[in-house]
Structure 1
């Protein structure tokens, strides 16, 4: 088993951050393909079998369009930042039904000084958010089992935004009120470039996704999705 990424992967991203323009990117597109995109797609292809063992309903999709890997181009239409390219790269391992419904994902993010793997649902729309909060209120024991286990607490860090006050209609004294106040239901584990450029990255990712699986399973149940 060999490494997918190399130090050149991170040099490319660092160089892109310093030269975030179309001319530079086109001149260095061969580097992008060789050092970042192709190895990332190869990794995704190798993750599909272990991912299917975690959940048969999740996909590590290697298609060049509409697959798991994010495009390097930024959508600048509604942003004050008009730089054309992301200075990181990432992929979402998504639910088979995610084309038609909001669903939690497993995620991988590569960035110089900021690599992490995670999972959950980020900024769900109001209907999905209401379903998750109501499910939390009605099923606290299963959530605590999923997110307060030793494996979860020792390896994963919850993240995202939360309301300062309990949402309307929920008991402010509920045992999970801190979680019910959340706007995002995500957790992640960071890793360094040494791991990212080693053969240990893939097994580490699989272990991380296994630890995240109970939380993702719970969120799927809240949204009436199979896991």
Structure 2
């Protein structure tokens, strides 16, 4: 049974809106079509956050599902201050459900991103803060936490065609044994698992909540490990 009350799926016009925006990514165009954005993207996304949050609380009771901008909803406005690409708007809809104390993007959580050609579902921490990166590295080589992380990742990889992301560095950081059995995990500046696929038909149906939840359940072992790590730090 589903519990997506009021969420009926993202409208057929949702991703078409982003196709049109990509052709004329300007404030002038967006201002003319702002009502379309609100009806085709923003309001359905808010309903998705509420419905998905209810479901996620059954496996992650402390998860935050806040349908406001810069909470579970990512703003459509791009931050162009340090980018060569000065187009003002993102051409995707993205939501974030985080769990734990501290700033939302420093926490582990569940992610959904949809654009005209694909969707991406994921869980984890995209980029560790400086202090959290050190905590993570120490956990990787810890006699108990390290093996627990390896087991969590194996469970996720066994559950489906999921990839482990955020491996950035080429060398094991100074102060850690490059021959350690978990040395590969020391090359990450964040840690996440995810699935990238074509947009499924269910994206436009209430059952999209069920679709996402099935994958989020598969991601849960890593999320729980990261949550435990961050709460130990706190």
TM exceeds 0.5? yes
1:182 is aligned to: 188
1:106 is aligned to: 110
The equivalent position to 1:39 in structure 2, one of 30, 40, 44, is 44
1:125 is aligned to: 129
2:98 is aligned to: 94
> Structure 1 residues 156-165 or 82-91, which shifts more?
156-165
- State how far apart, in whole Å, the 2-side matches of 1:205 and 1:173 are: 38
- Aligned pair count reads 225
Alignment of 1:48-197 (within 5 A): 48-63=53-68, 65-99=69-103, 102-138=106-142, 139-149=145-155, 152-193=158-199, 194-197=201-204
1:22 is aligned to: 27
| Structure 1 gaps, min length 5 | none
In the TM superposition, residue 217 of structure 1 has moved relative to its aligned partner by 1.1
Deviations 1:4-48 (A, max 9, x none): 113311100111111100010011111101111111111111112
Q: Secondary structure at the match of 2:88?
A: coil
Maintained 8 Å contact 2:100/2:227: no
- State how far apart, in whole Å, the 1-side matches of 2:67 and 2:15 are: 21
Deviations 1:100-135 (A, max 9, x none): 882112111011113111011112122111101110
Maintained 8 Å contact 2:60/2:99: no
2:230 is aligned to: 223
Q: Which consecutive aligned stretches of 4+ in structure 1 deviate over 6 angstroms post-superposition?
A: none
> Structure 1 residues 103-112 or 184-193, which shifts more?
184-193
In the TM superposition, residue 98 of structure 1 has moved relative to its aligned partner by 3.2
Distance 1:225 1:53, change over 3 A: farther
RMSD of aligned alpha carbons: 2.0
In the TM superposition, residue 199 of structure 1 has moved relative to its aligned partner by 3.5
Q: Secondary structure at the match of 1:83?
A: coil
* TM-score, normalisation: structure 2: 0.88
In the TM superposition, residue 196 of structure 1 has moved relative to its aligned partner by 1.8
